[in-house]
Amino acid sequence: MFNLSLNDIHIGATAPNKQNAIELVAAALTEAGYVKNGYVQGMLEREHQAPTFLGNGIAIPHGTTDTRAQVLNTGFAVFQFPQGIDWGDGQTAYIVIGIAAQSDEHLALLRQLTHVISDENIAQAMAKAGSAEELKSLLMGDNQVQPLKFDDSTVILNTNVDNMNALKLQNIVNLQNIQVISTDFITRVLTEAPIYLGQGVWLSDSVVGNIHSAIALSTVKHQFSYQDKPVKILITISYANNQVDTFLSIISQLLQHKKIDDLLKIDNVNNLISLFSGQPDESESAERGITEEFIVRNPHGLHTRPSTLLVSTIKKFESTITVSNLDAAATPVNGRSLMKMVSLGAKCGHRLRIHAEGTDAQEAISAIGAAINAGLGEEIA
Helix, strand, coil percentages (3-state) for the chain, rounded to 5, are 40, 25, 35
Catalytic residue among 106, 300, 303, 355: 303
Cα–Cα distance list, 345 to 94, 95, 108, 196, 324 (Å): 24, 21, 7, 44, 10
Same domain, 132 and 29: yes
312, part of any domain: yes
145, part of any domain: no
CA distance 204 to 190: 9
Q: Phi-psi bin for 9: left (phi > 0), alpha (psi -120 to 50), beta?
A: beta
Q: Which residues pair with 58 in a beta bridge?
A: 55, 95
Q: Give the relative orientation of helices 39-49 and 304-314 as an angle to the nearest 10 degrees.
A: 0
148, part of any domain: no
Residue 62 designated active-site: yes
Beta-strand pair 92-100/75-86? antiparallel
Provide the pLDDT for residue 347.
86
Residue 355 designated active-site: no
Q: Which residues pair with 220 in a beta bridge?
A: 159
Same domain, 170 and 255: yes
CATH number at residue 117: 3.40.930.10
Same domain, 13 and 130: yes
Among candidate residues 72, 107, 140, the one where a domain is terminated: 140
**How many structural domains does the chain have?**
3
Among candidate residues 236, 252, 277, the one where a domain is terminated: 277
pLDDT tens, N- to C-terminus, the chain (381 residues): 456 789 999 999 999 999 999 999 999 999 999 999 999 999 999 888 877 887 778 888 988 878 888 999 888 899 999 999 999 888 899 999 998 887 666 666 666 666 666 666 677 788 888 999 988 888 776 655 567 899 999 999 999 999 999 999 999 999 999 999 999 999 999 999 999 999 999 999 999 999 888 999 999 999 999 999 999 999 999 998 777 888 888 899 899 989 999 889 988 888 888 777 554 444 444 456 889 999 999 887 887 778 888 999 999 999 989 998 888 765 688 888 887 788 788 888 899 999 998 889 999 999 999 999 998 888 775
Q: What is the DSSP annotation of 72-106? A: SS-EEEEEEEEEEEE-STT-EEEEEEEEE-SSSTH
68, part of any domain: yes
- Strand-by-strand arrangement of the 92-100 sheet: 9-10, 75-86, 92-100, 58-59, 53-55
Same domain, 205 and 128: no
**Other CB atoms within 10 Å distance of the CB of residue 363:** 16
Beta-strand pair 229-238/201-205? parallel
**Other CB atoms within 10 Å distance of the CB of residue 4:** 19
CA distance 126 to 113: 12
285, part of any domain: no
Same domain, 179 and 296: no
159, part of any domain: yes
Catalytic residue among 62, 106, 212, 300: 62
CA distance 91 to 108: 24
Among candidate residues 140, 174, 197, the one where a domain is terminated: 140
Provide the pLDDT for residue 286.
47
Same domain, 120 and 12: yes
CATH number at residue 352: 3.30.1340.10
Same domain, 74 and 19: yes
Same domain, 109 and 162: no
295, part of any domain: yes
Provide the pLDDT for residue 285.
46
The helix or strand, by DSSP H or E, that contains position 322, with its residue range, turns out to be strand 320-325
CA distance 262 to 284: 16
Same domain, 265 and 362: no
Nearest to 117 by CA among 65, 167, 60: 60
The helix or strand, by DSSP H or E, that contains position 181, with its residue range, turns out to be none
Same domain, 212 and 261: yes
CA distance 50 to 120: 23
Please give the DSSP secondary-structure letter assigned to residue 198: E
Which residues form the domain of 160?
155-277
Provide the pLDDT for residue 283.
46
Same domain, 164 and 265: yes
214, part of any domain: yes
Q: Which residues pair with 320 in a beta bridge?
A: 357
Provide the pLDDT for residue 236.
97
Same domain, 135 and 236: no
